[in-house]
C-alpha cells in the first residue's frame, strides 16, 4: 500500500471513530442559558430542620439560673454532659428536640426551668469520593450538603478512560449503622437528560465510581496475558519488488 493510500485510510478510520464517539455522547437540545441568573437561582426551598452532629458546640442557657449557663460539645458517641445532666443524647436531634429533652432533665433539679439551646458552631459536612476519579478522598463543606455532580467535581472529575459513569453508586449509613447501597443516574445527568439525577448527598456518604468493563479487560490483558503469552504486534506488506517487509510497533 502506498503512503498516499495509507494516509487516506488513516483519515477515513479517524473519521469513523470520531463519528462513532460523537454519536455515543450526543446531548439533547437544551434551552439556552439566560444572560443573568434569576434572583431565585440557587435558593433552596423548605430546607429540612438541622440535626445535631458530632462535634457541634451548643450553648445551654437558663434565664432564671444564669449560673448554670454553659457550652458543651457533642462527643463522638453523640451525647453531651452538663453540670446538671450527666448524659443526654444529642446526635440526630433537632435543636428544639434537644431543648425539650434537657428541660425535662433539668426539671428533676429545678422548678419550672426556662431553658434554651443555641447552636454556637457546627461541624462541617463530610462526604467521600472513591474509585475512578482523579483526586479521590474526603471533601468537607459548610452549608447545604453537596450534590452528586458537585462531589465528583470536587474529586477532579471522573477518569475519562476507565470510569464507568453508568454504574456510579452511593454507600450510605442506614439505621443501626448498616450500610445501604443506592444506584444513580449520573450518565443521564452528564448528558443533560435528567436534572433530577443530581441527587443531594447525606453526611458521610461515599460516592464510588467503578471501572468500566473495557478498563477491566485492558487491566486483565496487561496484568495476566502479557506476562505469559508472547504477543507480536505488526503487519507485513509487499513492495514493488515483491519483497515482504514487517513493521513492528513503536515502543516507548
Q: Residues 200, 164: one domain?
A: yes
Residue 47 grid coordinates: 430546607
Which pLDDT value is given to residue 56?
A: 95
- Which stretch of 43-47, 50-54, 80-84 has the lowest confidence by average pLDDT? 43-47
Q: Residues 181, 107: one domain?
A: no
> In this structure, is residue 252 part of a structural domain?
no
Q: Residues 159, 222: one domain?
A: yes
Which of 73, 92, 121 finishes a domain? 121
- For the chain, what percent of residues have pLDDT higher than 90? 52
Q: Residues 128, 107: one domain?
A: no
Distance, CA of 184 to CA of 149 (rounded, Å) = 11
Is residue 117 scored above 90 in pLDDT?
A: yes
Q: Residues 135, 166: one domain?
A: yes
User: Could you give the residue ranges of the DSSP H alpha helices within the chain?
Assistant: 3-24, 95-106, 148-154, 186-190, 213-220, 226-228
Is residue 15 scored above 50 in pLDDT?
A: no
Q: Residues 129, 206: one domain?
A: yes
Q: Residues 115, 130: one domain?
A: no
* C-alpha torsion sign, points 25, 31, 35, 41: negative
Q: Residues 230, 140: one domain?
A: yes
Q: Residues 144, 197: one domain?
A: yes
Find the domain containing 227 and state its range: 124-234
The domain that holds 204 is classified in CATH as 3.10.560.10
169: number of Cβ within 10 Å:
15
Distance, CA of 145 to CA of 203 (rounded, Å) = 7
Which of 101, 121, 141 finishes a domain? 121
Q: How many domains does the chain have?
A: 2
> In this structure, is residue 32 part of a structural domain?
no
Which of 68, 89, 121 finishes a domain? 121
Q: Residues 177, 224: one domain?
A: yes
Closest CA to 123 of 56, 170, 183: 56
Q: Which residues contact 60 (CB under 8 A, 6 or more apart)?
A: 68, 69, 70, 71, 72, 82, 102, 115, 116, 117
The domain that holds 98 is classified in CATH as 3.30.1950.10
Q: Residues 97, 63: one domain?
A: yes
> In this structure, is residue 25 part of a structural domain?
no
**What average pLDDT does this structure show over 80-102?**
96
Amino acid at each position: 500500500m502506498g503512503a498516499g493510500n495509507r494516509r487516506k485510510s488513516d483519515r477515513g478510520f479517524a473519521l469513523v471513530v470520531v463519528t462513532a464517539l460523537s454519536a455515543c455522547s450526543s446531548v439533547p437540545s437544551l434551552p439556552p442559558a439566560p444572560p443573568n441568573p434569576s434572583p431565585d437561582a440557587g435558593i433552596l426551598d423548605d430546607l429540612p430542620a438541622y440535626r445535631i452532629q458530632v462535634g457541634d458546640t451548643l450553648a445551654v442557657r437558663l434565664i432564671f439560673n444564669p449560673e448554670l449557663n454553659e457550652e458543651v460539645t457533642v462527643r463522638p458517641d453523640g451525647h453531651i454532659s452538663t453540670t446538671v445532666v450527666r448524659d443526654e443524647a444529642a446526635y440526630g436531634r433537632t435543636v428544639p428536640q434537644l431543648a425539650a429533652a434537657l428541660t425535662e432533665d433539668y426539671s428533676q433539679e429545678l422548678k419550672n426551668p426556662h431553658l434554651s439551646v443555641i447552636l454556637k458552631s457546627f461541624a462541617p459536612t463530610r462526604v467521600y469520593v472513591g474509585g475512578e476519579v482523579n483526586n479521590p478522598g474526603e471533601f468537607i463543606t459548610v452549608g447545604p450538603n453537596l450534590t452528586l455532580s458537585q462531589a465528583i467535581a470536587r474529586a477532579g472529575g471522573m477518569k475519562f478512560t476507565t470510569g464507568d459513569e453508568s454504574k456510579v453508586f452511593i454507600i450510605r449509613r442506614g439505621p443501626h449503622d448498616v450500610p445501604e447501597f443506592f444506584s444513580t443516574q449520573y450518565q443521564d445527568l452528564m448528558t443533560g437528560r435528567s436534572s433530577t439525577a443530581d441527587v443531594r448527598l447525606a453526611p458521610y456518604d461515599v460516592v464510588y465510581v467503578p471501572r468500566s468493563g473495557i478498563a477491566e479487560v485492558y487491566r486483565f490483558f496487561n496484568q495476566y496475558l502479557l506476562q505469559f503469552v508472547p504477543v507480536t504486534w505488526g503487519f507485513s506488506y509487499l513492495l514493488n519488488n515483491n519483497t515482504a517487509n514487517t513493521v513492528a510497533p513503536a515502543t516507548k
